[in-house]
């Protein structure tokens, strides 16, 4: 038993050699239930509480926000669960398995989008961890200025990059620890601030229009599961092929969604009880949550906040490295993770020390990249639903194989769906994105200031359009692929 534990510890601290390759049968291990740990650990962050303020910012009532949140969170992680099936069937990273639909080189397009999304998310989470640490330390009288932010950035950056570089085994072990510690401390936090909830104030929040509810639902869907779909198979690829498909979908969906649903509902109660708190969250989504805490719990709060954010960023940096390799970087996986770490730290320095308000840019980032990733997700889901056989592994790496070099139907579909989607979303709070929403007026949806402006229909349209075109127009190509001996 001691020898087995020593072997596991040694593997966790060794640099993973796997990159874009198919995982060998001898290295496929575990059960679908083990997928619970990385997905729960990556999504148990107290950032989920701040989404309560984000949702109410759409001008909807508590119950409308609960309905939008539950549907948006669970449905978005169900998409992750379905994409995770590709990992079990092909034992390769998500952005390699996408080559079956897009072609070996054609898949570089979604790989670029995937890299931007994952490296963007890991940067956002690092920013939040740095700001939260500075806010809490300032309240404790331990500083909170530039030096505190620099130290926090160094500590958080080292944790994230180390896990990303060392790889899968360390990530799985770290996520188990993060899940337990963060889960317990988050429950304590909720108990301590429960007296800040005023149901009479929350229940008096006025209802919003159906368009506003849809806008909140799409935003929450994008902020949670849809931001993970491009990485969903990166962890299920280590499971044996005979693993239960229902288990892969179920544990991924449950592990990813259970914490965000609970945190979102509690966050709605907190934000709905205080307009001042909602406004503070826009500037510092994590640090603002510490205002209601007793002094003795501020240090544990920093721990829970940082660990929760690190848990998400660790999965992101691992997958962003794989996406960078899928684009064509000629380097080992750990080098790609290091490059992403440098980009992450540079982005954090810019926002923390030179940037402005966080929320507007965050919303713009989510919605803008949410459109092409939704189109890609629809195409992948349709491709998976059409296939009756496992992937031909060697052909995933050969442009002359059955999957081809560039498959133009899905590539063009993704581009067109993205163009239509961007025309049906708005980002007026982020000045660099005011060009979006160009189809709202011509389609009679009220223009950029109309009722449908902030429903962000473009994400749903891109998802559905990608699925429908690939499912019906692309089915013949899949049958031809599977007919090859």
Contact 261, 223 (CB under 8 A): no
- Return d(Cα 88, Cα 100) in angstroms, integer: 15
Q: What is the pLDDT of residue 5?
A: 35
CB atoms within 10 A of CB 258: 18
- Which tokens in the block code for residue 175? 């996520």
Tokens at residue 1, please? 């038993």
Give dist(CA 247, CA 287) in Å, integer: 37
d(CA 201, CA 154): 41
Q: At what angle do helices 47-56 and 245-273 cross, to 10 degrees?
A: 60
pLDDT at 255 over 90: yes
> What is the maximal distance between C-alpha atoms in the chain?
70
Q: How far apart are CA 316 and CA 73, in angstroms?
A: 18
What pLDDT digit, counting tens, does each position of 171-220 carry? 777 777 877 888 888 889 999 999 999 999 999 999 999 999 999 999 99
Name the band, by pLDDT with cuts 50, 70 and 90, for residue 360.
Answer: low
Give the rounded distance of the alpha carbon of 280 from its chain centre.
Answer: 24
pLDDT in tens, 340-359: 999 999 988 888 888 756 65
Structure tokens at 152: 């926090």
298-328 pLDDT, tens digit per residue, is 888 888 888 888 888 888 898 899 999 999 9
Axis-axis angle for helices 457-473, 358-386 (nearest 10): 20
- Token pair, residue 5, equals 């534990």
Query: Considering the entire predicted model, what is its pTM?
Result: 0.89
| Phi, psi dihedrals of residue 21, rounded to the nearest 5° | -70, 160
For the segment 36-60, the average pLDDT, to the nearest whole number, is: 88
- Percent of the chain past pLDDT 90, that is, above it, reads 52
The alpha carbon of residue 45 and the mean position of all alpha carbons in its chain are separated, in whole angstroms, by 12
Non-local CB neighbours of 59 within 8 Å, separated by 6+ positions: 206, 208, 212
Q: How far apart are CA 241 and CA 188, in angstroms?
A: 40
pLDDT tens-digit profile of 261-271?
Answer: 999 999 999 99
- What per-residue confidence (pLDDT) applies to 151? 86
Q: What is the pLDDT of residues 364-377, one digit of tens each?
A: 777 888 999 999 99
The predicted-structure confidence for 398-433, as pLDDT tens digits, reads as follows 999 999 999 999 999 999 999 999 999 987 666 778
């Amino acid at each position: 038993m001691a020898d087995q534990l020593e072997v596991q510890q040694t593997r966790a601290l060794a640099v993973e050699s796997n990159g874009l390759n198919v995982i060998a049968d001898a290295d496929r291990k575990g059960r679908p239930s083990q997928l619970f740990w990385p997905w729960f650990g990556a999504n148990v962050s107290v950032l989920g509480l701040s989404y309560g303020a984000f949702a109410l910012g759409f001008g909807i009532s508590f119950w409308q926000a609960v309905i939008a949140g539950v549907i948006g969170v669970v449905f978005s992680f169900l998409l992750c669960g379905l994409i995770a099936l590709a990992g079990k069937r092909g034992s390769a990273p998500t952005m390699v398995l996408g080559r079956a639909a897009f072609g070996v080189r054609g898949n570089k397009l979604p790989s670029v989008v995937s890299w931007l999304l994952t490296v963007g998310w890991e940067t956002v989470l690092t920013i939040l961890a740095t700001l939260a640490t500075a806010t809490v330390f300032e309240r404790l009288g331990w500083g909170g200025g530039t030096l505190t932010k620099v130290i926090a950035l160094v500590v958080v950056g080292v944790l994230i990059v180390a896990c990303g570089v060392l790889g899968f085994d360390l990530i799985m072990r770290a996520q188990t620890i993060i899940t337990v510690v963060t889960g317990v401390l988050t429950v304590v936090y909720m108990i301590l601030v429960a007296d800040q909830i005023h149901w009479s104030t929350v229940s008096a929040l006025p209802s919003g229009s159906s368009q506003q509810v849809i806008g909140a639902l799409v935003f929450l869907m994008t902020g949670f599961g849809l931001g993970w779909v491009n990485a969903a198979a990166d962890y299920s690829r280590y499971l044996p092929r005979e693993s239960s498909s229902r288990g892969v979908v179920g544990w991924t969906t449950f592990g990813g969604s259970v914490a965000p649903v609970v945190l979102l509902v509690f966050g709605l109660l907190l934000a709905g009880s205080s307009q001042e708190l909602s406004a503070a969250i826009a500037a510092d989504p994590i640090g603002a949550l510490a205002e209601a805490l007793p002094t003795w719990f501020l240090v544990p709060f920093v721990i829970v906040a940082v660990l929760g954010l690190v848990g998400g960023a660790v999965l992101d940096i691992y997958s962003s490295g794989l996406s960078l390799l899928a684009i064509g970087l000629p380097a080992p996986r750990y080098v790609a993770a290091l490059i992403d770490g440098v980009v992450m730290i540079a982005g954090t320095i810019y926002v923390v020390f030179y940037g402005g308000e966080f929320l507007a840019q965050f919303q713009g980032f989510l919605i803008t990249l949410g459109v092409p990733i939704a189109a890609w997700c629809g195409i992948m889901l349709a491709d998976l639903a059409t296939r009756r056989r496992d992937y031909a592994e060697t052909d995933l790496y050969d442009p002359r194989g059955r999957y081809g070099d560039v498959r133009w139907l899905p590539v063009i579909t993704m581009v067109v769906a993205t163009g239509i989607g961007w025309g049906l979303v708005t980002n007026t709070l982020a000045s660099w994105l005011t060009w979006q929403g160009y189809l709202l007026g011509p389609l009679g949806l009220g223009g950029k200031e109309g009722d449908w402006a902030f429903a962000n229909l473009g994400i749903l349209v891109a998802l559905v359009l990608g699925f429908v075109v690939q499912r019906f127009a692309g089915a013949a190509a899949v049958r031809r692929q599977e007919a090859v001996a």
